[in-house]
Amino acid sequence: MAAGEIEAEDSGWDKITSTPGIYVLGKRPDRFYEVVIDEAYNSWLLGHNFQYLNKAEFELVFGHDPTQPTKTEVEIYGWGALYVRFLENAFKGIWSRRGRGLDSCLRSIAPSDLQTALEWAILSRDILVN
């Protein structure tokens, strides 16, 4: 989602950010936002006229897996920088305590070699907050 589409006053961005099952992780270097949608809320979101592409539709339209960096992103930023960006955004989301649904969403999209770091962040939050 492009920042210009979200940040305009008439964009309905406040509706998106306050909706259960939608988690805004942060802004990407390419001016788009990373938004995670809990699949358990799909029918609720569609029933409330939210329009978006699920992972399969996204892959069909744009030709790549939205949970993986594009070839251009890897060439420009390298794998390390992309992993750092994902973890930074994931940690911000985890510590925002917007809902436990975000934890399971992040677990489902995190690259396998980042799963341990993600679990440590969730465990740390759970220990320090409770």
- pLDDT higher than 70, residue 30: no
Q: Domain-by-domain residue ranges, the chain?
A: 3-129
Contacts of 128 (CB under 8 A, 6+ apart): none
Per residue in 56-68, pLDDT (tens digit) is: 887 888 777 766 7
Find the angle CA(107)-CA(58)-CA(68) to the nearest 5 degrees: 45
Q: Which two tokens stand for residue 21?
A: 């099952």
- pLDDT higher than 80, residue 102: yes
Question: Which DSSP letter does residue 53 get?
Answer: -
Give dist(CA 23, CA 97) in Å, integer: 11
- pLDDT higher than 80, residue 50: no
Average of per-residue pLDDT values in the chain: 77
Are 99 and 20 in contact by the 8 Å Cβ rule? The answer is yes
Question: What does the pLDDT average to over 74-102?
Answer: 79
Find the angle CA(95)-CA(66)-CA(91) to the nearest 5 degrees: 10
Higher pLDDT, 42 or 99: 42
Specify the pLDDT at position 123. 92
The pTM of this model reads 0.63
Give dist(CA 94, CA 113) in Å, integer: 18
Per residue in 113-128, pLDDT (tens digit) is: 889 999 999 999 888 8
Are 45 and 22 in contact by the 8 Å Cβ rule? The answer is yes
